[in-house]
Amino acid sequence: MKRRLPIASLFLLAVACHGLGMHRGEETPAPRDVARSVDDARLRAAGADPTTWITHGGTYAEQRFSPLDQINAGNVSQLGLAWSYATGTARGLEATPLVVDGVIYATGSWSVVFALDARTGNELWRYDPEVPRETGRKACCDVVNRGVALYEGRVYVGTLDGRLLALDAASGKKVWEVQTTDPSRPYTITGAPRVVKGKVLIGNGGAELGVRGYLSAYDAKTGSLIWRFYTVPGDPSQPQESPALERAVPTWKGGEWWKVGGGGTVWDSMAYDPDLDLLYVGTGNGSPWSRVVRSPGGGDNLYLSSILALRPDSGDLVWYYQETPGDTWDFTATQHIVLADLAIGGQTRKVLLHAPKNGFFYVIDRESGKLLSAEKFAPVTWARRVDRKTGRPVEAPGVDYRKRPVVVKPSPYGAHNWQPMSYSPQTGLVYIPAQDIPSAFALDKHFRYRPGTWNTGTDFSVIHGFPRGIATGSLLAWDPVKQRARWRVPYTAPWNGGTLATAGNLVFQGTSDRRFVAYAADSGKKLWQTPVGTAILAPPVSYELDGQQYLTVLAGWGGAFALSGGDAVAALDPRAGGQVLTFKLGGNAEMPMPPPPPGPQPLAALPPAPKDRKLVARGEALFTQNCVVCHGYAAVGGGVLPDLRHATPEVHQSFEAIVLGGARQSQGMPSFAQFLTPEDVEAIHAFVIQRAYDEHAAMAAAEKKAKRR
């Protein structure tokens, strides 16, 4: 009961703030006033004003909890669509929309930014940063963007090609732009910036291809660089950029990681505690993935797969906690960070809650960085447990894939990925979009660094696909104090959406099987759902306008598992097409329903079946090495990018011109001339054709079986 008091007082404050703000029937504020009021004071007090959603996780603590309760467990059955806005995109949408003064700010594929009237969904402005389409090759996990930051009348966005832009919130016109990365390296930005004390914080990604991770702080007014914190050492024969990095150097042994990059990218999560003045960021996996390639002499490889606590004014490291020392499985610690005050062992502790890819749920003292507890929240085979005294995982025997391929759980898709979790101070539970996906790892014994493409030091060709049923997901309600599940809603597929908890005893989540669902936050009982046109990955937000509570969520299928998941994804009957969906009680707008993607070509339209089995096998190996991350394991499309088994005769005729000649570069399909020979492409083409025949054979067998029944 102790926990109730601060929430009740917050809510009273919220009501008071609302009384001073927008009144019923008041017109949408003039665009020039929009978002100007978001300043340091308002960002620090964001939790006191539940009518808005002014920063990525709702507040600096990133709990994604809305104190609004007009929509509640008693009336959520009356929820309906208020309006929808077609983003005009067909790739993944992952953004958290920000909402203030009646305007919604969000981002779509290719880092496009748009502002919408929150009452009607009418577009106020749209800014396209015109990201060159060949940048798509650098993006491990789709051409996505997770949203903007607002501060003193400006909208900040990181673009896929590594720029940070400041836009005028009223007009959408560009105020300044800086390149935050070296364009000659495969850096991308997909994460949302945050603003702390006048500094715009932005990280980057690219560790699958090979980069060195860092976080940058820019002056919000001018765009000048204030500080940069590199997360992994550079060439050890040279001086490092910070004392923290000098301390990290001895934890890297042998190898030439700095030539590939080392990894540790800060590609998503950040949170801020204004009282402690600590900025928390999560760092990514090693680059290359394989630790025997990256650091053959062993070592923890600081600061990979870690939570870092930094001073926002200087970028100085105050403490770190490494979740996966010597990561070798693409176990990022970049998943969503939540700050909360929990009663543990009879005292209130300021903690940081984290459910990273590696499958352990961590409760960390956020003042000291000391581990309080860590337990498995999903099937985990790589480690037996985390030792509470040392804070280190106890690796399981037999997970070293140096000598032979090993199946490991979780997979690089994570027991939990970027889809944000939420925390309800009312129930004390954390709502995690959890998943259970195995993956096989094998060492690439002949690894050589190939700039511009994937450099993991592992051999993907041991993975032949994700058959239906092997990969599942769930909505998991986790008690962080008792470190155990309170309830769980199982899903047939992974890659479901981020969550939102509300004071109406509700948890909202979109699903990969195209639903938007409300559950009772205390029991997990399903209270309401609606079909949606395309799967939802992004987290919903809630706000209030004219005395009415709204929910907004972006719907748009895509991201890593959607692109590569093969049969596991095809079973979802996925649809492409981006929408912003806004719901309210009594809403009765029509849900947009995109058509299914084109199906198989008739047999007669296929090129002749390949006869050379060796050519097909070589094609499969090359396909798995070069193509699966976008076109799916076993060439089974995920509904986002073309399913190559369904390629038209025109595509077959121009296969080499597309793959080597870059004939479809403007559509995001870059040339692979740097990596593949015409003979390689012939083999890949043979494999793709074979897969089209395989699908026809499977359909014929299914038809025969159905007739027998």
Contacting positions for Ca ion (CB under 5 A): 285, 330
Of 180 and 417, nearer to Ca ion (C-beta) is 417
C-alpha–C-alpha distance, residues 640 and 644, integer Å: 12
DSSP 466: -
C-alpha–C-alpha distance, residues 367 and 337, integer Å: 15
The nearest distance, CB 357 to Ca ion, in angstroms, is 8
C-alpha–C-alpha distance, residues 319 and 309, integer Å: 5
Of 216 and 285, nearer to Ca ion (C-beta) is 285
Give me the residues paired with residue 375 across strands.
361
The nearest distance, CB 332 to Ca ion, in angstroms, is 5
* Residue with tokens 């000659």, as numbered in its chain: 184
Report the Cα–Cα distance between both ends of the chain, in Å, rounded. Answer: 59
Q: Report helix, strand or coil for 553.
A: strand
Of 61 and 292, nearer to Ca ion (C-beta) is 292
φ and ψ at residue 428, rounded to 5 degrees: 70, 15
Could you tell me if 237 and 251 are in contact, meaning their C-beta atoms sit under 8 angstroms apart?
no
Other CB atoms closer than 10 Å to residue 389's CB: what's the count? 6
Could you tell me if 131 and 143 are in contact, meaning their C-beta atoms sit under 8 angstroms apart?
yes
Of 69 and 330, nearer to Ca ion (C-beta) is 330
Of 229 and 331, nearer to Ca ion (C-beta) is 331
Give me the residues paired with residue 500 across strands.
508
Give me the residues paired with residue 280 across strands.
271, 309
Ordered DSSP codes for 202-224: E--B-TTT--B-EEEEEETTT--
Q: Report helix, strand or coil for 706.
A: helix
C-alpha–C-alpha distance, residues 480 and 477, integer Å: 9
Of 143 and 167, nearer to Ca ion (C-beta) is 143
Sheet holding 194-196, edge to edge: 194-196, 199-202, 214-219, 225-230
The nearest distance, CB 141 to Ca ion, in angstroms, is 8
Of 285 and 453, nearer to Ca ion (C-beta) is 285
C-alpha–C-alpha distance, residues 60 and 63, integer Å: 8
Percentage helix, strand, coil for the chain under 3-state DSSP, each rounded to 5? 20, 30, 50
C-alpha–C-alpha distance, residues 324 and 334, integer Å: 12
Cis peptide before 193 (omega within 30 of 0): no
Of the candidates 164, 156, 155, the one whose C-alpha atom is nearest the C-alpha of residue 203 is 164
φ and ψ at residue 693, rounded to 5 degrees: -65, -40
Of 139 and 507, nearer to Ca ion (C-beta) is 139
Question: Which structure tokens are listed for 85?
Answer: 């806005």
Ordered DSSP codes for 681-692: HHHHHHHHHHHH
Of the candidates 370, 266, 282, 382, the one whose C-alpha atom is nearest the C-alpha of residue 327 is 382
The nearest distance, CB 330 to Ca ion, in angstroms, is 5
Could you tell me if 462 and 498 are in contact, meaning their C-beta atoms sit under 8 angstroms apart?
no
Of 208 and 682, nearer to Ca ion (C-beta) is 208
- What amino acid positions are annotated as catalytic residues? 330
Residue type, 154: R
Could you tell me if 509 and 475 are in contact, meaning their C-beta atoms sit under 8 angstroms apart?
yes
Of 63 and 188, nearer to Ca ion (C-beta) is 188
Give me the residues paired with residue 83 across strands.
582
C-alpha–C-alpha distance, residues 453 and 451, integer Å: 6
Of 372 and 408, nearer to Ca ion (C-beta) is 408
Residue type, 43: L
C-alpha–C-alpha distance, residues 691 and 610, integer Å: 10
Ordered DSSP codes for 479-503: ETTTTEEEEEEEESSS----EEEET
